[in-house]
A and B are shown apart, each in its own frame.
Chain A
């Protein structure tokens, strides 16, 4: 197994993965901070390094429409977008899922307007969380690359056949150069295999109708089948993650647990904050506070039972949401985790902090302070806000 140690930004890492995947078709429209993914990939197309038909469209809605058409035709298809671009794709996201198309998207998390902002938060993909797309978050460039390679196998698995988005944090990962390892082309291609579409529309010997109408008679059954595909994706994600580990060295699951086994307090988060969090956990442990971290990698399907089981032994939990549901039950990650742990609720104090909107930095010290305050409040029997904002100027 050949590996090369390189320095890559998140966008470069994703473009590299797409080059190695060598999709039949890529349809995309540029948007900051995801633009570079396609900009770099377009040079690969121009240089003849891939066999891909690159379709530059006039909007993200068109990009997703073209990607859907191409995937229906039987082509392995990818796209990349961010923020408003994903928002413009919104109605087509549901169509891709409902038609059970294993489309693959490189998504770079960015805040939504207004006010205009180009920096990271998770509001964009949270908006599409119930669209029927598998959602996998990445902590760094390496994970973005690894996740995108695995995404092909997950999406195209016969028990799944759902579109998938792999995300990175805008600028924090997309534009930050880090050391990572890339694998040899032949190993990646061997791992992903060739795409065998179930019912390609261009198979003229077996004509099909795609996108037919379903009224009260069958719509519900078809949506139930989409839900089942999402449920099935859980086993497939684990299976592909294990196989990836055997082949490339790093195994992947639903989450990563860091110093969690004896933790009295744990933070739960998505994406790049987990990296900063690990340094905070180490500092807290030096100070004698048994802190741990749980980084959720797979947000859709939401691994509710697995997360609840893993956190069962942790009395104090702080869920960090990089998006706000605005006067709902906290952020989306908190609400889902709280529901997942409902049956164990008496054992835990679970709090929520909305942080980092529009790219607002989160520092090691802030996380340390947050978790140590939660521990002292618990020890002193003091109350602490269940849902609050972290890092906003009050």
Chain B
């Protein structure tokens, strides 16, 4: 990512963000109070969590859930909620327990 100008003269005209995907540089992981813990054994790879995650924080590899991008996951718990009740492969755990 380009450095943001520290003066008004060098800013992109009209406040345009002139490259895509810059949200990746904004790490929101430390907003989290609950951490989703993914259980690969239980997971059936239906990808419901991947579909619903508002932060694109479900990481896939070869079409299967690889884990959670903890640099961006805000701990909203939508993934755990959407995981089918018979599967329950994602559990929300107090972030404090990891520190």
User: Is B98 part of the binding interface, using a Cβ–Cβ cutoff of 8 Å?
Assistant: no
Number of interface residues of A (CB under 8 A): 22
Q: Is B14 an interface residue (CB 8 A)?
A: yes
Are B13 and A199 interface neighbours, CB within 8 A? yes
How many pairs of residues, A versus B, come closer than 8 Å at their CB atoms?
54
Q: In the complex, A206 Cα to B4 Cα: how many Å? A: 19
Closest chain A residue to B17 by CB distance?
A: A209
**Residue A212 contacts which of B5, B8, B9, B15 (CB distance < 8 angstroms)?**
B15
> Which residues of A from 199 to 250 have beta carbons under 8 Å from B?
199, 206-212, 214, 218, 220-222, 224-225, 228
Contact B11 A221 (CB under 8 A): yes
Q: Say yes or no for B63: interface residue by CB 8 A criterion.
A: no
Within 8 A of B (CB), among A96-127: 98-101
Chain A contacts for B18, CB-based, 8 A: 199, 206, 208
What DSSP secondary structure best describes chain A's contact surface? loop
A222 to B17, CA, bound (A): 13
Measured CB to CB, the nearest residue on chain B to A201 is B16
Query: For the complex, is A198 an interface residue (Cβ under 8 Å from B)?
Result: yes
Contact residue among A101, A208, A228 (Cβ-Cβ distance under 8 Å from B8): A228
Which of chain A's residues have a CB closer than 8 A to the CB of B11?
218, 221-222, 225
Interface residues of B in 8-28 (CB under 8 A from A): 8-9, 11-20, 22
Alpha-carbon distance between A207 and B21 when the two chains are bound, in angstroms: 9
Give the residue of B7, B14, B19, B20 whose beta carbon is less than 8 angstroms from that of A100.
B14
A99 to B9, CA, bound (A): 15
From B5, B8, B14, B19, give the contact of A98 (CB < 8 A): B14
Residues on A with beta carbons closer than 8 Å to the beta carbon of B17: 208-209, 212
On chain B, the number of residues with a Cβ less than 8 Å from chain A's Cβ atoms is 16
Provide the bound-state CA to CA distance between A207 and B5, in Å: 20
- With a cutoff of 8 Å between Cβ atoms, the chain B residues found around residue A220 in the complex are 8
Q: A350 at the A/B interface (Cβ < 8 Å)?
A: no
Neighbouring A residues of B9 by C-beta, 8 Å: 225, 228
What CA separation (Å) do A216 and B27 show in the bound complex?
A: 19
A contact residues around B22 at 8 Å (CB) = 209
Whether, in the assembled complex, A161 has its beta carbon less than 8 Å from a beta carbon of chain B, the answer is: yes
Shortest distance between the CB of B85 and any CB in chain A (Å)? 38
- Option from B8, B12, B14, B20 in Cβ contact (under 8 Å) with A207: B20
**Bound complex: CA of A103 vs CA of B99, how far in Å?**
54
Which of the residues A198, A206, A211, A221 comes within 8 Å of B7, measured between beta carbons? Answer: A221
Shortest Cβ distance from B5 into A: residue: A221
When A221-B8, A224-B8, A225-B9 are in contact, do A208 and B16 touch as well, CB less than 8 Å?
yes
Q: How far is the CA of A198 from the CA of B18 in the complex (A)?
A: 11
Interface residues of B (CB under 8 A from A): 4-5, 7-9, 11-20, 22
Jot down 20 A-B pairs with beta carbons below 8 A, ordered by A.
Answer: A98-B14, A98-B15, A99-B16, A100-B13, A101-B14, A198-B13, A199-B12, A199-B16, A207-B19, A207-B20, A208-B17, A210-B14, A210-B16, A212-B16, A212-B17, A218-B4, A218-B11, A222-B11, A225-B8, A228-B8
